[in-house]
Structure 1
């Protein structure tokens, strides 16, 4: 995640604060100096950092904090609250007109920020919420953009309105709205042209579209990897055209993440969503409180639960629960759990949401469960017959030899997998016994799987 380095540095600062029984004003100032350096290194705007540290310091050296029972934890609580304030306090949704009134959303941004892909992602989000969106291809300067939008629209099951690359974008926007009105669409998303940098003709074209049609929301897409440039772009667009919100892309990349902490404070507009990957489903609602928790190493359990609810089949989960209780898991169940983890974004994304998961711990677990090993396990399981997967007790030496050859691995790898699986089953059996004895004493009990 973008904030990995910042998160690790802040956790180290707070570890020192927690270890002190009492805090002096000097302790707080030293800690905040380190927080300041960590934020600047994360590419957060100097003005924003200066104001942030001032706010924290004013609250942190108050009598109620310094004389409290646990001043170290109080300072961390204040930093957390100020981080939330910095990023916008409340979660902001894309505003939509009521009922079947047509909402026109204009997407803007520079080339390379991922605007066209994000436009399709937004359409998919709105469709899943019961809206009927129409995508309009208004980028006539890059023919590939029209084709890209059509491909992505097809993937998410949303129609794309196009008039080719020889028409004026203003005329395309008008015709798209007319098409929406005649065909029962209630959201029109305009994918406008990007440029390599902010220029007057680009701004003029966006102003012309806004003057010709009733644009209800103007959303800017910026690349988180460009750091402070992303903040400057947001500020310029807001001054010239007026924007209602920002979508930050590539927040899963190797970036310092300062843009997420600076945009709201700099241009006063909320971050609506963050792009966390290439897939059309990799767009997450931006929650300032959850992001602050992640940055401070407190995890993001709510997002983890929501991901599980969205990606895990409830019927399969119930079936898995029954098998767990009876210790009857087979290799097919093992494979199913691996696939569900992939659907939820993979091991790393899930671990990032757990409290206390810093860079060091993540690295160790990732090394133990890297993607190559997971792919190797999958190949071994798929080399088994359906009967062998359902009943691992059938796996004698000759069968293991055949599986190893089918998966292209040494037989020792198959032995290792079977041994690990047997150990897991024994553990499940013990857990099942514990669960049953607890449920007998307490009444109804449900496994949290």
Structure 2
């Protein structure tokens, strides 16, 4: 997971350490007291010439790992500000630089979180079902992610119904039914070619009538460039007024995910992101870039095909994986 980006950052740390530790000692006249202090401290200063070229190389490496350009540029700038002028013991350069990288990446990724379970319980207390709209491109793993969220909510005492509002893709209704049976929740579907908004309306009505706590809406996959399908989504959002809108995309899609989130956000607003296939994402660029580039928090990582393979997002976990 994120091995390419981890290797790039590790190489950067090693290169700086080597360069700084090999700094030549200047021949200057020092007092005996200053010489003694210098020997005892064994301290070096990281200079701009030590990091300038390496930071340029790191920026290119980040771009190769699908880190967004504004993020790569921001990381380079912040690292330069923090590293240049730093005084550190020669045998602690790697540890110090790693610490600066960790601090910088945590700042880039942000601390904002959405408590999905807490939000659902709060809405339930008002007497109305909590409606979550799942959106994203074809094949991104929306239906599987919905099943995982249903499993999560059930584990927290929140009953669910799935609205199978993908009435276009062949076998989409059947796929939703299969997952519904695995999780143990009812699926409300519709005829292929029927109005998807009416399917969601029926699912919400069913939840209200049966006292079900949450409605999870599975929509047809669509590209942000498909005007007709985006208008359909806009209609659904206007009629249903969901409490939460979650974009589901593949971590391995890199920068494409960021552009899609921005476009979906323009049309209906996006509250958070689930990144699927994070377990096979060797680059890690999307995970690092999304919040900084879109201001949308990552809620969960999909890390497998089982119902429990949903990992709550933690910036600390991502940074720990990279450093």
User: What's the TM-score bracket when you normalise by the shorter of the two chains?
Assistant: 0.7 to 0.9
Quote the residue 1:74 is aligned against: 96
- Give 2:47's aligned residue: 24
1:216-231 pair list within 5 angstroms: 216-231=243-258
In 2: Cα distance, 1:188 partner to 1:130 partner: 14
Corresponding residue of 1:392? none
- Alpha-carbon distance in structure 1 between the residues aligned to 2:99 and 2:79: 10
SS of the residue aligned with 2:293? helix
* Larger RCO: 1 or 2 (CA < 8 Å, sep 6+): 2
Aligned partners of 1:196 and 1:218: how far apart in 2? 16
1:408 aligned residue: none
Matched with 1:93 is 115
| Greater per-residue helix proportion | 1
In structure 2, distance between residues paired with 1:291 and 1:159:
35
Match of 2:171 among 133, 138, 144: 144
**Distance in 2 separating the partners of 1:177 and 1:67:** 61
| SS of residue paired to 2:280 | coil
Partner of 1:124: 151
1:213 offset after TM fit, Å? 1.6
What TM-score, normalized to structure 1? 0.61
Corresponding residue number in structure 2 for 1:191: 218
Q: Following the alignment from structure 1 to structure 2, what is the Cα–Cα distance between the partners of residues 248 and 271?
A: 7
**Aligned partners of 2:128 and 2:208 also within 8 Å:** no
Q: 2-side partners of 1:137 and 1:227: how far apart? A: 28
Question: Partners of 2:10 and 2:78 in 1: how far apart?
Answer: 20
Query: What is the 5 A alignment of 1:168-317?
Result: 168-195=195-222, 198-296=225-323
Q: CA deviation at 1:96?
A: 2.5
Alpha carbons of 1:261 and 1:38: their partners in 2 closer, same or farther (altered >3 Å)?
Answer: same
Superposition deviation, residue 114 in structure 1: 1.1
Q: What TM-score results when the alignment is normalised by the length of structure 2?
A: 0.84
Once residues 126 and 211 of structure 1 are traced to their aligned partners in structure 2, the CA distance between those partners, rounded to angstroms, is 25
In structure 2, what is the Cα distance between the partners aligned to 1:147 and 1:233?
A: 27
C-alpha contact (below 8 Å) 1:138/1:169 kept by paired residues: yes
Q: Over aligned residue pairs, what C-alpha RMSD do you find?
A: 1.9
Alignment-derived partner of residue 83 in structure 2: 60
| Equivalent residues, number | 292
Cα drift, residue 259 of structure 1: 1.2
Aligned to 1:398: none
Mapped partners of 2:277, 2:225: distance in 1: 20
SS in 2 for 1:252: helix
* Bigger share in strand: 2
